[in-house]
């Protein structure tokens, strides 16, 4: 286990990843990125884990963006290579299990981009979210100009990226950047209830659902419908489907095993 990332396996098939640099507001650096990559690689093959929650240590910050100290002497080619060598954001997005961002404070720049790479986002009402790269003479470089408009629409994406302004968790919920904004003291309970609910479902159906929904971003409707039908039909071959149908007809709670 890395000092900069705490990995916990919780009851109910949930894994919790906590970025652990509270003195730096959990800013992302090379060590954090490597630790997240490694944790995701291990958890992808862990059948006991069905849902992953990502958050930040302390109560001030989720992830306050990239560690700007790494920018000071970076050369363009070096920066490009470091960003293309391993895309942590795409790794989160393509992770075969549901990922929930628990946003407990500042969620800025690369931190906001990391949250957008997750499948769902729940924020504290006291959280502050934004893409302030414009204040450094930069633009978002890890999906902020691409995932943000898909979530909130072009107008709000333009405003947040071009102004660098920060918005509250409540405002983020209103514009669709997060799915829920809850009181700080209720955040952990809310997220864990959501994660437990999802983790109780069929793991193979969860993977199919995630892949099918993400396919809607890149496929025309007719191709997406074919992709969805293929997964739907394939699931008829699984033990989980037989268990789900049997439990429904027998009026009992299903026990899904992921096969």
Helical (H) or strand (E) element with 167: strand 167-168
User: Is 113 among the residues known to form the active site?
Assistant: yes
Yes or no: say if 50 and 206 are a contact pair by the CB < 8 Å rule.
Answer: yes
Beta strands in 4-83 (DSSP E): 5-10, 14-19, 51-56, 61-63
Residues 162 and 208: their CA atoms lie apart, in Å, by 36
- How many other CB atoms sit within 10 Å of the CB of residue 173? 19
Which residues partner with 53 through β-bridges? 16, 100
Residues 254 and 77: their CA atoms lie apart, in Å, by 53
Structure tokens at 168: 């509250």
Going from the C-alpha of 217 to that of each of 6, 124, 134, 146, 224, the distances in angstroms are: 32, 28, 26, 11, 9
Which residue of the set 70, 93, 133, 223 is catalytic?
A: 133
User: Is 133 among the residues known to form the active site?
Assistant: yes
What is the three-class DSSP state of 66? strand
Which residue of the set 8, 70, 78, 113 is catalytic?
A: 113
- How many other CB atoms sit within 10 Å of the CB of residue 8? 11
- How many other CB atoms sit within 10 Å of the CB of residue 91? 16
Structure tokens at 64: 């306050």
Rounded to the nearest 10 degrees, the angle between the axes of helix 221-234 and helix 203-218 is 170
The catalytic residues are 113, 133
């Amino acid at each position: 286990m890395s000092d900069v990332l705490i990995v916990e396996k919780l009851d109910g098939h949930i894994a919790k990843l906590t970025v652990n640099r509270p003195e730096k507001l959990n800013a992302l650096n090379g060590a954090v990125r490597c630790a997240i990559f490694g944790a995701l690689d291990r958890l992808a093959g862990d059948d006991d884990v069905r849902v992953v929650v990502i958050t930040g240590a302390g109560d001030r910050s989720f992830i306050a963006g990239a560690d700007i100290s790494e920018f000071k002497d970076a050369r363009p080619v070096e920066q490009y290579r470091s960003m293309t060598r391993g895309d942590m954001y795409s790794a989160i997005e393509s992770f075969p299990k549901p990922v929930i961002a628990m946003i407990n404070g500042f969620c800025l720049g690369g931190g906001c981009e990391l949250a957008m790479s997750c499948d769902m986002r729940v924020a504290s009402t006291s959280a502050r979210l934004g893409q302030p790269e414009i204040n450094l003479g930069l633009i978002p470089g890890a999906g902020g100009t691409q995932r943000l408009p898909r979530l909130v629409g072009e107008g709000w994406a333009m405003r947040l990226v071009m102004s660098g302004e920060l918005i509250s968790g409540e405002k983020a919920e209103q514009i669709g950047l997060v799915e829920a904004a809850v009181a700080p003291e209720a955040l952990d309970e809310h997220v864990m209830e959501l994660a437990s609910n999802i983790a109780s479902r069929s793991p193979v159906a969860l993977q199919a659902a995630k892949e099918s929904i993400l396919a809607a971003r890149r496929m025309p409707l007719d191709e997406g419908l074919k992709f969805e039908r293929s997964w739907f039909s394939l699931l008829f071959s699984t033990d989980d489907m037989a268990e789900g149908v049997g439990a429904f007809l027998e009026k009992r709670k299903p026990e899904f095993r992921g096969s």
